[in-house]
Amino acid sequence: MPIQILMPALSPTMSEGTLARWLKNEGDAVKSGDVLAEIETDKATMEFEAADDGVLGKILVAGGTAGVKVNQPIALLLAEGEDKSALAEAPPAAKPAAAAMPPPPAQPAAAPPPAAASSPEGRVFASPLARRLAAESGLALDRVAGSGPHGRIVKADVEAALKAGPQPATQPAARPAAVPALVPQAGPGPFEPAYVEIPNSSMRKIIARRLTEAKQTVPHFYLSIDCDVDALLAVRGDLNARSEVYKLSVNDFVVRAVALALKKVPAANAAWGEEAIRRYTDIDISVAVATPTGLITPIVHHADRKGLAEISNEMKALAAKAKDGKLMPEEYQGGGFTISNLGMYGIRDFAAIINPPQGCILAVGAGEQRPVVRNGALAVATVMTCTLSVDHRVVDGVVGADFLAAFKRLVEDPLAMLL
């Protein structure tokens, strides 16, 4: 029975949107994670991904249609083995809309229109005939080994793949409930140890693509600073003892300190653009959260205008939603600066990969007792090492150092954070 593709809700307030254009045609093979269409809201244009493999059987709402209600069926997807006759069957099984690709961060009013956040995935080389045969039979070409010149997929490869039988089922995209199937491999290569294959979720693929792109194309440099957090810990203990309404973590202080430091050094709250550097006027801080399916960075918007308790409660809610896979796109897309904290795992220091297009990411280590020298004498202090990864195209060394100095002052003098 064909799968109904429904109009996705791209924000909690979205009730309808414009189906800007289809990127797949009827009859095209679609695999989980492929971008099916572009959906426009009043805020942005977003790419809408397929959650399942199949063939786009029928487009129900044409590209360019405005006022499409959320959860209205917009297309029918033929599952493997189904042909067009299945489209006549009624009623098709409904499938919730899949997650959309992250759009670029929110733009200041004067900024140029956002560029598409995604780049096309690795090109599959296949002959036109092989492509057509695969599309007609709903075969995903990236699962076919090519035997043609330079490994190009040719007709014979598609025929062999079809003859070999159905492909292993794939996992729907980025759905936290999904437990990745472990596919035991019958025969590993001659020198390869035995393994199981864990199919990549759409989220995993996005993480892989974005981080690879970042590490390969962004000129990173790293600045580390040690912060004495004894005073911070004392203030935290004091504040936490006063109320049951909040329970502040060290990270909440870090978020607040970063927000205030960015306000002092706005040049560090910026992103690279080919024509212009975007200096964000909002202070939106992305905070990396580990989830069962991968890393996600929910955002504390306007963190500079929020108190510690508000930040703390918001972070808790965002982290819980992230772990349940219930974050709405606007809650994790955008942000101008990222914090990644592995302190709770005892990591002393580390260098994070920049989360493009942002210019900086702060890697926060564990607060631990270390010997320090004060006024020529050895003393014991609780020290937290923070490492700033910087896109040198956006932020120069002195700016990075200024930011870290401002951050350190705030962390070491937590009462200043309360101002």
Partner 1 sequence: MSFVEKNMPENSFDLVVVGGGPGGYVAAIRAAQLGMKAALVEREHLGGICLNWGCIPTKALLRSGDVLRSMKHAESYGLSAGQVGFDLSKIVARSRAVAGQLQAGVKHLLKKNKVTVFDGHGKLAGGGKVAVEGKGMLAAAHIILATGARARVLPGLEPDGKLVWTYKEALVPDSMPKRLLVIGSGAIGIEFASFFNALGSDVTVVEVMDRVLPVEDEEISALARKSFEKQGMKILTAATVKALKKSGDSVTATVEIGGKTQEIVADRVISAVGIVGNVENLGLEGTKVAVEKTHVVTDQWCRTGEAGVYAIGDLTGPPWLAHKASHEGVLCVEKIAGLKDVHPLDIRKIPGCTYCHPQVASVGLSEAKAKDKGHQVKVGRFPFVANGKAIAMGETEGLIKTVFDAKTGELLGAHMIGAEVTEMIQGYTVAKTLETTEAELMHTIFPHPTLSEMMHEAVLDAYGRAIHY
Binding status of residue 168 toward partner 1 by CB under 8 A: no
d(C-alpha 206, C-alpha 101), whole Å: 8
Burial letters 243-276, b for 16+ CB under 10 A, else e: eeebebbbbbbbbbbbbbbbeebebbbbbbbeee
> Which residue from 27, 96, 114, 148 is in contact with partner 1, where contact means CB under 8 A?
148
Tell me how far CA of residue 350 lies from CA of 136, 212, 222, 345, 401, in angstroms: 49, 18, 10, 12, 17
Specify the DSSP element, H or E, that contains 215: helix 202-217
> Which residue from 7, 50, 154, 287 is in contact with partner 1, where contact means CB under 8 A?
154
* Number of neighbouring beta carbons within 10 Å of residue 191: 5
Beta-strand relationship, 285-287 and 337-341: parallel
Binding status of residue 318 toward partner 1 by CB under 8 A: no
CB of 136 to partner 1, least distance (A): 7
> Which residue from 9, 59, 130, 248 is in contact with partner 1, where contact means CB under 8 A?
130
Specify the DSSP element, H or E, that contains 157: helix 155-163
CB of 148 to partner 1, least distance (A): 7
Tell me how far CA of residue 400 lies from CA of 15, 96, 275, 347, in angstroms: 42, 44, 22, 22
d(C-alpha 365, C-alpha 142), whole Å: 40
CB of 202 to partner 1, least distance (A): 30
The span of 75-83, 125-133, 289-297, 318-326 binding partner 1 (CB under 8 A) equals: 125-133
> Which residue from 15, 147, 217, 243 is in contact with partner 1, where contact means CB under 8 A?
147
d(C-alpha 69, C-alpha 60), whole Å: 13
The span of 115-123, 131-139, 261-269, 388-396 binding partner 1 (CB under 8 A) equals: 131-139
d(C-alpha 110, C-alpha 288), whole Å: 28
User: Where in 390-409 is the site for partner 1 (CB under 8 A)?
Assistant: none
Token match 């062999």: residue?
Answer: 160
Choose among 332, 249, 260: nearest CA to 289.
332
Binding status of residue 129 toward partner 1 by CB under 8 A: yes
Active site residue 392: yes
> Which residue from 10, 75, 133, 319 is in contact with partner 1, where contact means CB under 8 A?
133
Helix (H, G, I), strand (E, B) or coil at 111: coil
Nearer to partner 1, 123 or 150 (CB): 150
Binding status of residue 6 toward partner 1 by CB under 8 A: no
CB of 408 to partner 1, least distance (A): 57
Beta-strand relationship, 360-374 and 337-341: parallel
Binding status of residue 132 toward partner 1 by CB under 8 A: yes
> Which residue from 12, 128, 184, 193 is in contact with partner 1, where contact means CB under 8 A?
128
CB of 25 to partner 1, least distance (A): 13
State the number of binding residues for partner 1 (CB under 8 A): 13
Binding status of residue 122 toward partner 1 by CB under 8 A: no
CB of 35 to partner 1, least distance (A): 22
CB of 140 to partner 1, least distance (A): 18
Choose among 55, 31, 35: nearest CA to 46.
35
> Which residue from 91, 113, 122, 149 is in contact with partner 1, where contact means CB under 8 A?
149
Supply the residues annotated as catalytic.
Answer: 392
For partner 1, the binding residues (CB under 8 A) are: 127-130, 132-133, 136, 147-150, 154-155
